[in-house]
Structure formats: C-alpha cells, structure tokens
C-alpha cells in the first residue's frame, strides 16, 4: 500500500470518485484576528491511498491525527476509518486502485510551533506532513 498524497486544504470534497480541493497544500496558519492561544482550528485533510492488487478484499484501518513536536496528539478530534477495496473481475493482476478520503477535524492549537499531520494505516505510520502555526500573519 502506498500513500499517493496527503495534504492540508481550506476545503475538500469527494464527488464521483474525484477529489476537489480549494486552498490545497498550505503549510502555515495563524490565529484569526481576535483569537488568542489556545484556539480551535479546523484542519481539512485530503489523502489518496493506492491499494495494490494483493491487498484488495481485506479490511484496512486508518487514522489521521495532529501531533505537536513532542508527539502528543492534539485534542479533541482525530479521524478514524476503515476501507475494503474490492477486486472487480476485469482488474488485471498487478493493477492498483485508489481510495480517497477528505474531511475536517477540529483541533485545539496550544501555541505557535511546528505540528504534524500523521496518517497511520493498519497500525503503521504511512505518511507525515508538517505545518507551522505562527503567532500572527506573516509580515
């Protein structure tokens, strides 16, 4: 199994097997005017997992969570889910299929710093991306 993409976005939607993103790929954020630390931030994530032919017809579990520099999971929310990819009769041996997931999670940002969005599949870390939370907008 391979992670084709894991990204942060302002908005993400799955429709007809396609992933639609707005503001995808951001790496820095900051509190809105009037907000102070700690503050709640909605993190929208989008991911695409390539499932190999031999891994079809099996249940797989995934988890998305935001961690701080000390590897503590930010609360109060994470995304847990599962998927089973079938094997259509016309799927050629060696061909893979793509599973896509998109959705928001609200997390409590305690302070400025470097944070990670971590994807775990079947209890193993599959992908990690980092982002910076700044004290305010860039100068």
Residue 139, pLDDT score: 83
What are the angstrom distances between the C-alpha of 93 and each of 4, 70, 86? 20, 43, 13
DSSP3 helix / strand / coil % (the chain, rounded to 5): 0, 60, 40
What is the spatial order of strands in the sheet that 39-51 belongs to? 2-9, 39-51, 97-109
pLDDT tens digit string along 78-100? 999 999 999 999 999 999 999 99
CA–CA gap between residue 5 and residue 7 (Å, rounded) = 6
Residue 76, pLDDT score: 85
What's the pLDDT band for 5 if we cut at 50, 70, 90? very high
70, 116 Cβ separation under 8 angstroms: no
Q: Output the CATH code of domain 2-133.
A: 2.60.40.10
Domain range list for the chain? 2-133
CA–CA gap between residue 21 and residue 116 (Å, rounded) = 20
């Amino acid at each position: 199994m391979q992670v084709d993409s894991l990204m942060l976005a302002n908005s993400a939607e799955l429709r007809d097997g396609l992933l639609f993103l707005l503001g995808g790929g951001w790496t820095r954020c900051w509190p809105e005017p009037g907000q102070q630390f700690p503050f709640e931030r909605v993190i929208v994530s989008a991911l695409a997992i390539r499932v190999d032919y031999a891994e079809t017809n099996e249940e797989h579990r995934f988890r998305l969570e935001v961690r701080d520099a000390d590897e503590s999971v930010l609360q109060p929310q994470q995304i847990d889910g599962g998927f089973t990819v079938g094997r259509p009769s016309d799927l050629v041996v060696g061909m893979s299929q793509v599973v896509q997931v998109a959705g928001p999670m609200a997390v409590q940002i305690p302070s400025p710093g470097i944070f990670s969005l971590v994807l775990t599949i079947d209890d193993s870390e599959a992908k990690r991306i980092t982002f910076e939370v700044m004290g305010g907008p860039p100068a």
